[in-house]
Amino acid sequence: MATRFKFRLEALLRVRKSLEEEAKRHLSRMLAAQDQALAALDSLRALHLAGLVRCRVAPGQVINLEDLRNTQRFLLVVEQRIQAQTQVLHQAQQAVATARQALVKAHQNHLILQRLKERRQEQHAREVLQEEIRDLDEIAVLRYHITHPAASNL
Protein backbone atom coordinates (compact mmCIF):
# COMPACT_ATOMS: atom_id res chain seq x y z
CA MET A 1 0.00 0.00 0.00
CA ALA A 2 1.26 3.44 -0.91
CA THR A 3 2.45 5.69 1.88
CA ARG A 4 1.35 9.27 2.17
CA PHE A 5 3.93 11.90 1.24
CA LYS A 6 5.52 13.62 4.22
CA PHE A 7 8.04 16.41 3.71
CA ARG A 8 10.52 16.27 6.57
CA LEU A 9 11.44 19.95 6.20
CA GLU A 10 7.84 21.20 6.36
CA ALA A 11 8.46 23.08 9.62
CA LEU A 12 11.45 24.85 8.09
CA LEU A 13 9.36 25.67 5.02
CA ARG A 14 6.71 27.30 7.24
CA VAL A 15 9.41 29.28 9.05
CA ARG A 16 10.87 30.48 5.77
CA LYS A 17 7.41 31.46 4.53
CA SER A 18 6.72 33.45 7.69
CA LEU A 19 10.13 35.15 7.38
CA GLU A 20 9.23 36.11 3.82
CA GLU A 21 5.87 37.50 4.98
CA GLU A 22 7.62 39.49 7.71
CA ALA A 23 10.08 40.86 5.14
CA LYS A 24 7.10 41.95 3.00
CA ARG A 25 5.53 43.73 5.96
CA HIS A 26 8.85 45.39 6.81
CA LEU A 27 9.28 46.59 3.23
CA SER A 28 5.75 47.94 3.30
CA ARG A 29 6.53 49.92 6.47
CA MET A 30 9.74 51.26 4.96
CA LEU A 31 7.92 52.31 1.78
CA ALA A 32 5.32 54.09 3.89
CA ALA A 33 8.07 55.90 5.81
CA GLN A 34 9.71 56.89 2.52
CA ASP A 35 6.40 58.21 1.18
CA GLN A 36 5.87 60.15 4.38
CA ALA A 37 9.37 61.68 4.17
CA LEU A 38 8.79 62.60 0.53
CA ALA A 39 5.43 64.20 1.35
CA ALA A 40 7.04 66.23 4.16
CA LEU A 41 9.79 67.37 1.77
CA ASP A 42 7.23 68.37 -0.84
CA SER A 43 5.34 70.31 1.81
CA LEU A 44 8.51 72.16 2.86
CA ARG A 45 9.31 72.96 -0.76
CA ALA A 46 5.81 74.38 -1.21
CA LEU A 47 6.33 76.55 1.91
CA HIS A 48 9.64 77.74 0.48
CA LEU A 49 8.01 78.65 -2.81
CA ALA A 50 5.23 80.51 -0.99
CA GLY A 51 7.87 82.47 0.95
CA LEU A 52 9.65 83.37 -2.27
CA VAL A 53 6.39 84.59 -3.75
CA ARG A 54 5.82 86.74 -0.64
CA CYS A 55 9.24 88.37 -1.15
CA ARG A 56 8.32 89.58 -4.62
CA VAL A 57 7.26 93.17 -4.80
CA ALA A 58 5.33 94.68 -7.66
CA PRO A 59 6.88 97.74 -9.30
CA GLY A 60 5.96 100.89 -7.42
CA GLN A 61 4.83 98.99 -4.31
CA VAL A 62 6.14 100.05 -0.91
CA ILE A 63 8.59 97.59 0.65
CA ASN A 64 8.05 96.74 4.31
CA LEU A 65 11.57 95.92 5.52
CA GLU A 66 10.40 94.16 8.67
CA ASP A 67 8.15 91.85 6.65
CA LEU A 68 10.98 91.27 4.20
CA ARG A 69 13.42 90.36 7.02
CA ASN A 70 10.85 88.08 8.66
CA THR A 71 10.22 86.37 5.34
CA GLN A 72 13.97 85.93 4.77
CA ARG A 73 14.37 84.39 8.24
CA PHE A 74 11.41 82.15 7.50
CA LEU A 75 13.00 81.10 4.21
CA LEU A 76 16.30 80.37 5.94
CA VAL A 77 14.56 78.13 8.50
CA VAL A 78 12.59 76.38 5.76
CA GLU A 79 15.78 75.79 3.74
CA GLN A 80 17.44 74.23 6.80
CA ARG A 81 14.41 72.00 7.30
CA ILE A 82 14.48 71.06 3.63
CA GLN A 83 18.11 69.97 4.00
CA ALA A 84 17.29 67.98 7.13
CA GLN A 85 14.25 66.40 5.48
CA THR A 86 16.36 65.55 2.42
CA GLN A 87 18.66 63.59 4.75
CA VAL A 88 15.65 61.85 6.28
CA LEU A 89 14.41 60.96 2.79
CA HIS A 90 17.84 59.63 1.83
CA GLN A 91 17.92 57.43 4.95
CA ALA A 92 14.40 56.21 4.18
CA GLN A 93 15.46 55.32 0.63
CA GLN A 94 18.43 53.37 1.99
CA ALA A 95 16.11 51.55 4.42
CA VAL A 96 13.81 50.66 1.51
CA ALA A 97 16.74 49.31 -0.49
CA THR A 98 17.90 47.22 2.47
CA ALA A 99 14.36 45.92 3.06
CA ARG A 100 14.04 45.00 -0.62
CA GLN A 101 17.28 43.03 -0.48
CA ALA A 102 16.09 41.24 2.65
CA LEU A 103 12.78 40.39 0.96
CA VAL A 104 14.55 39.04 -2.12
CA LYS A 105 16.78 36.85 0.05
CA ALA A 106 13.84 35.61 2.14
CA HIS A 107 11.87 34.87 -1.04
CA GLN A 108 14.78 32.94 -2.52
CA ASN A 109 15.21 30.91 0.67
CA HIS A 110 11.50 30.09 0.67
CA LEU A 111 11.51 29.16 -3.03
CA ILE A 112 14.49 26.85 -2.61
CA LEU A 113 12.65 24.79 -0.03
CA GLN A 114 9.37 24.97 -1.96
CA ARG A 115 11.07 23.62 -5.08
CA LEU A 116 12.76 20.89 -3.04
CA LYS A 117 9.37 19.89 -1.65
CA GLU A 118 7.88 19.79 -5.15
CA ARG A 119 10.74 17.63 -6.45
CA ARG A 120 10.39 15.28 -3.52
CA GLN A 121 6.61 15.08 -4.10
CA GLU A 122 7.20 14.21 -7.75
CA GLN A 123 9.77 11.60 -6.78
CA HIS A 124 7.38 10.13 -4.21
CA ALA A 125 4.58 10.05 -6.80
CA ARG A 126 6.85 8.20 -9.25
CA GLU A 127 7.82 5.70 -6.56
CA VAL A 128 4.19 5.14 -5.59
CA LEU A 129 3.26 4.68 -9.25
CA GLN A 130 6.06 2.14 -9.73
CA GLU A 131 4.94 0.30 -6.61
CA GLU A 132 1.35 0.24 -7.83
CA ILE A 133 2.48 -1.03 -11.22
CA ARG A 134 4.45 -3.84 -9.51
CA ASP A 135 1.42 -4.72 -7.38
CA LEU A 136 -0.84 -4.77 -10.43
CA ASP A 137 1.65 -6.95 -12.29
CA GLU A 138 1.70 -9.39 -9.36
CA ILE A 139 -2.09 -9.45 -9.28
CA ALA A 140 -2.18 -10.06 -13.03
CA VAL A 141 0.30 -12.93 -12.72
CA LEU A 142 -1.64 -14.46 -9.82
CA ARG A 143 -4.92 -14.09 -11.68
CA TYR A 144 -3.40 -15.69 -14.77
CA HIS A 145 -2.18 -18.62 -12.71
CA ILE A 146 -5.59 -19.00 -11.10
CA THR A 147 -7.47 -18.89 -14.39
CA HIS A 148 -4.90 -21.05 -16.22
CA PRO A 149 -3.81 -23.75 -13.78
CA ALA A 150 -2.05 -25.73 -16.50
CA ALA A 151 0.36 -22.86 -17.11
CA SER A 152 1.55 -22.87 -13.47
CA ASN A 153 2.67 -26.52 -13.75
CA LEU A 154 5.22 -25.71 -16.37
**99 burial type by CB count under 10 A (0-12 exposed, 13-18 middle, 19+ buried):** buried
Residue 136 or 149, more confident: 136
Say whether 92 sits in a helix, a strand or coil: helix
Mean pLDDT of all residues in 50-70: 82
Q: Class assignment of domain 11-117?
A: mainly alpha
Question: For residue 25, how far is the Cα from the chain centroid?
Answer: 8
pLDDT digits (tens, 9 = 90+) for 92-106: 999 999 999 999 999
Averaged confidence pLDDT in the chain: 91
Instruction: Give 86's pLDDT tier (boundaries 50, 70, 90).
Output: very high
User: Domain segments of the chain: what residues?
Assistant: 11-117
pLDDT of res. 39: 97
Residue 37 or 150, more confident: 37
Q: Tell me if 77 sits within 8 A of 51, measured CB to CB.
A: no
Q: Cβ neighbours of residue 103 under 8 Å, at least 6 residues apart?
A: 20, 23, 24, 26, 27
pLDDT of res. 59: 76
> Half-sphere exposure of 79 toward its Cβ, with a 13 Å CA cutoff?
8
Name the region of 114 (left: φ>0; alpha: ψ -120 to 50; beta: rest). alpha
Instruction: Give 15's pLDDT tier (boundaries 50, 70, 90).
Output: very high
